Amino acid sequence: MLTYKNEWNDIEEVHFLKEDVETSVSIIIPARNEAANIAHLLQDISHQIYPENLIEVIIIDDFSEDNTYDICLEFAAQYQYIKVYKLAQLIAELSSSIAYKKRAIEAAVQLAKGKLIITTDADCRLQQHWIHSIVSFYEKEKCALIAAPVGYYQDKTKFQHFQALDFCGMQAITGAMLRMDIFNMANGANLAYEKEAFLSVNGYQHIDQKASGDDMFLVYKIAHKFPNRVQFLKNKAAIVLTQPMQNIADFLQQRFRWTSKSAAYQDKRITIILGLIYLFVLSIWMNAFYFIGKATYSILFPDRTLVALIQFLPAFFFLAMAIFQLLCKSIIDYIFLKSAAHFFNREDLMQSFFISEVHHCWYIPFVGTFGNILSYKWKGRKLR
């Protein structure tokens, strides 16, 4: 984690905005049942400080069961650069597919006229210089792919504060890993890539077996073909905001979805890293439960002989080990997360650090164990 912190801090924070931009942009938004959110996103796009003649917005309605499509049509009637399509009209055969979002993005890329593709989610909020900051970085660095930051907002409860802080850390890890040339982290809510780069790697071909992974699997493919042309954009103006899950059930469904793609990582370094983290946290619980089990047995079946006392003493070693592990994890996590929260202007989240650390300790072994076993629901669909 300290390595991640150092790599994250070494990423130069970008502050500039190029005055004369010339790159045409196609913003792709897959949307399913987003009637409550998508109007806010489209309003944010309409307020972007970027030449309107260089913007194209492509919305792909993914079999929505609400009036998402109708809301998008209203905006399309008002803004000529907004185009709305139904996925069913673009792709004939989807009955056996679970990768609806990937199919939607692939179809949109084929329709796109922009040189640079930017993807976001229908429930996100954007800052006014969002497009400008991404394009400025692209025209300066000539990247084939740019992973940009995503943060949470409207986190009100302690559990949502935990999600927001955890997500800050995940974004910092994303930036650190890309700097370390480990290309298995990104977020499709804020991702940009050249249309030619997407087409040259055949989009999601051979990585469409899972519903999730429209971001990190694509990052790996593009990075493999265009080494040294994949970067993380560390610019506050580029931050996209989304909301945390409202309850534990929704949170677990989200994390099961994220975890479901871990077995398909092509770069096994990330698999090893995640595996070590999982085993470390799991060992904290195992050491603690061993002591609790021994103590409970001694209380239920008291034996005050010297031999019984000597046999019980090793249990204290496991308790001490659990406390030591938890202390080390907390110190390292605090140092790392404080740096990540600073970039997102969310230093307030550190007030909930210790409660967040407790949540973190249970969800890692739980989700790590069941994420690749249990089915999950996403956008009303049951997936495995």
Q: Which residues of the chain have pLDDT under 70?
A: 92-98, 207-214, 261-268, 303-304, 306-312, 376-384
What are the residues whose beta carbons fall under 8 Å from the beta carbon of 154, sequence distance 6 or more?
243, 244
Question: H or E stretch including 152?
Answer: strand 150-152
Q: What is the pLDDT of residue 213?
A: 57
Beta-sheet pairing, 376-378 with 381-383: antiparallel
pLDDT score, position 88:
86
Interatomic CA distance for residues 18 and 41, integer angstroms? 24
How far apart CA 137 and CA 107 sit, in angstroms, is: 26
| Three-class DSSP category at 240 | strand
Query: For position 259, what pLDDT does the model report?
Result: 79
| Residue that the structure tokens 């202007």 belong to | 345
* Residue 28, H or E segment: strand 25-31
Confidence at residue 306, expressed as pLDDT on a 0 to 100 scale:
62
* Residue 33: predicted pLDDT: 94
The answer to whether 126 touches 242, Cβ cutoff 8 Å, is no
Residue-range domain boundaries for the chain: 2-246, 270-383
Strand 25-31 vs strand 55-61: parallel, antiparallel, or unpaired? parallel
pLDDT value for 67: 96
According to CATH, the topology of domain 2-246 is Spore Coat Polysaccharide Biosynthesis Protein SpsA; Chain A (3.90.550)
Q: How far is CA 36 from CA 25, 31, 66, 69, in A?
A: 26, 11, 9, 12
pLDDT of residue 206: 74
Q: Which pLDDT score, from 0 to 100, does residue 288 have?
A: 92
What pLDDT is attached to residue 261?
66
Instruction: Convert 43-70 to b/e letters by CB count within 10 Å (16 or more is b).
Output: ebbeebebbeebbbbbbbbbbbeeebbe
Give the pLDDT confidence score for residue 217 in this predicted structure: 84
DSSP state of 372: T
pLDDT at 279: 93
